[in-house]
A and B are shown apart, each in its own frame.
Chain A
Amino acid sequence: MKTIKIPFGPQHPALEEPINFIFEVEEERVVNVKPRLGYIHRGIEKLAENRTYHQNVYLIERICGICSFAHTTCYTQAVEELLGIDIPERAKFIRTITAEMERVQNHYLWLGLTAKETGFETLFMYAWRDRETILEVLEMISGKRVNYGMNTIGGVRRDILETMTEQIEDKLSHLEDRAQYYKKICTKEQTILKRTVGVGILRPRDALSLCAVGPTLRASGIPRDVRADDPYAAYDEVPFKVVTYKRCDVASRILVRIDEILESINIIRYALENMPKGPIQVKVPQRVPKGEAVSQVEAPRGENIHYLKSDGSDKPVRLKVRAPTLANLPPLCKMLIDVNIADIPVVIAGIDPCIACAERVMLVDTKTKKRRIWSGDKLWRYSCEWYRKK
């Protein structure tokens, strides 16, 4: 049996974690996949045990730059549950609005990256340029483009002022037009369709048994979304649709995310119009009563879950974080089976991994036993060439 070793690693400043995959291939097709993490393991759960609950808000925010708000929302909700407090209504709406803005920002980023993986560099540039619009809105309300510092235990730290609403609406309209345009492209443009339709199939049965989450799950037709199933913040008061598509391929994953951008824009508009007046946070004690809580949110990449255990002191006994990408790795391994080597970048991008600057992919050819080492760039160029020739 021959083996081929190929590292896979497009590097991006906006993406966090490198990852190692070992692929076994027969000629051009993948027969087995094994992931290896650890390149960006920072020991956060251990660190959290030595910091106060308030200090941990700043730590948790930095688990991921792109879904930082989802993590702090999940964490502060767990602490608030243990404290037995309900945050002000206005704070719930602000959390909802910021969370949806983060979703829009994430999905635009992702759209650009997926376009790049299919060789469609123009779409990549356009999507990233349009993403700047939502980053400007986030900067207006929070002062930062990522890691907003909006959440605190007991509510939020900054208000969304009346004076901001008009500007926000302008930018939302622009983003909505652009999303509609990208939807048209992604349903009609051959460059994308050839690379995404029928690629990276994940059947509903596998999606469920392998515990997939988020858009990856919804693109296999399963209508699970924490915002609808286990509402938090103001999601029980804001109407929205859970988006699903049934084709189970990368093309479905693209459409789910574009539709989610459109839904998010509607949620933001509704929330801005119906946001109650009032305070945005309540004062909370340093010490948290003994107990345990499990908190879930629908991060842009899927279900995010935190488990928190307290003992009455000002530091947690245990904080456990399971980010959505870890849940989507086994489904990713499944959908990579029987895929062409050339399709690997697109399928990996399809789950919107928080580890997309994959450092190494080892391709093991079961027939030839040859080991080849390629850079991620080389693999990307190989996929584009392979499809050009087809």
Chain B
Amino acid sequence: MKASNLIESQLKDEAREITVPRERRMFIRIAKENLRKSMKKLIGLEGLTHLSTITGVDVGSQVELIYHIVYEDILVSLKVQVSKEKPILPTIVDLIPGALLYEREIHDLFGVRFKGNPDLSRLILPDTWPDGVFPLRKEWTPERISEKIEDNHENY
């Protein structure tokens, strides 16, 4: 049976909210505790192509992570949120090795730490980038970032 027919029933315990904006698209919100459990179920479904990427979104006091999973017949976006104070999520690289660079990118730009990921070193920010500056968080405006970089002037 195709993935699109199975997803809702497979995730009926974990899914807090399901939105279907159009055909071939589904957004599912889950609690962060259920990330690995949900991911295991989703990657077991028939017609899986791959994890396309992981998007990070600043939604105020939280960082929302969206895991975009592509099947032959549908694209599922699985959403979890973590607080900015304690931005920790379990890794999924043991389930999906291809997630490695996406977790590294989110770590750089949003400061989310993925427990169990063997390599969260810098991926795209410069070596001399100051710690604690997460450019895609809304509170880090371009002006504030420039000021912080000027403060770190001795590194340049």
Contacts and interface: CB of A to CB of B under 8 A. Distances in A.
Interface in A315-331: 317-318, 320, 322, 326-327, 329-331
Contact of A46 (B57, B68, B122, B142): B142
A296 B142 contact: no
Interface stretch (B4-12, B34-42, B44-52): B44-52
Contact of A224 (B49, B109, B136): B49
A224 B70 CA distance: 11
A230 B71 CA distance: 10
Interface in A13-61: 34-38, 41, 43, 45-46, 50
Contacts of B25: 293-294
Contacts of A41: 124-126
Main secondary structure of the interface of B (DSSP, over half): mixed
B100 interface: yes
B22 A211 contact: no
A209 B98 contact: yes
A320 B53 CA distance: 10
Given A46-B136, A326-B101, A327-B98, A307 B55 contact: yes
Nearest to B73: A229
Interface in A297-345: 303, 305, 307, 309, 317-318, 320, 322, 326-327, 329-331
B87 interface: no
A135 interface: no
Contacts of B125: 38, 41
A291 interface: yes
A41 B142 CA distance: 15
Given A320-B53, A322-B52, A37 B68 contact: no
B98 A294 contact: no
Contacts of A209: 96-98
Nearest to A334: B97
A282 interface: no
A130 interface: no
Interface residues of B, number: 40
A318 B77 CA distance: 15
A230 B125 CA distance: 33
Contacts, number: 93
A34 B104 CA distance: 12
B60 to A, nearest CB: 11
A318 B57 contact: yes
Interface string B16-42: 000001101101000000000000000
Main secondary structure of the interface of A (DSSP, over half): mixed
A292 B53 CA distance: 16
Contacts of B75: 230, 294, 296
Contacts of A45: 109, 136
Interface string B90-101: 000000111111
B55 A36 contact: no
Nearest to A331: B98
A291 B22 CA distance: 12
A320 B24 CA distance: 19
B57 A36 contact: no
Contacts of B96: 209, 211
Contacts of A43: 135
B80 interface: no
Given A211-B50, A294-B75, A330-B101, A46 B123 contact: no
A81 interface: yes
Question: Which of B55, B109, B136 counts the most chain A CB atoms within 10 A?
Answer: B55
A322 B53 contact: yes
Contacts of B97: 209-210, 330
Question: Which of B49, B102, B121, B122 counts the most chain A CB atoms within 10 A?
Answer: B49
B68 A294 contact: yes
Contacts of B135: 43, 46
B139 interface: no
A37 B123 contact: yes
Interface in B75-116: 75, 77, 96-102, 105, 109
Given A46-B136, A230-B75, A296 B123 contact: no
B72 to A, nearest CB: 6
B22 A81 contact: yes
B66 interface: yes
8 contacts: A41-B126, A81-B21, A81-B22, A209-B98, A212-B50, A307-B55, A320-B53, A320-B57
Closest 9 CB pairs of A and B: A211-B98, A322-B53, A211-B50, A320-B55, A210-B98, A41-B124, A38-B124, A307-B55, A318-B57
Interface of B: 21-22, 24-25, 27, 49-53, 55-58, 66, 68, 70, 72, 75, 77, 96-102, 105, 109, 119, 121-127, 135-136, 142
Given A43-B135, A292-B21, 11 more contacts: A36-B123, A37-B124, A38-B125, A45-B109, A46-B136, A81-B22, A211-B50, A292-B27, A294-B75, A296-B75, A322-B53
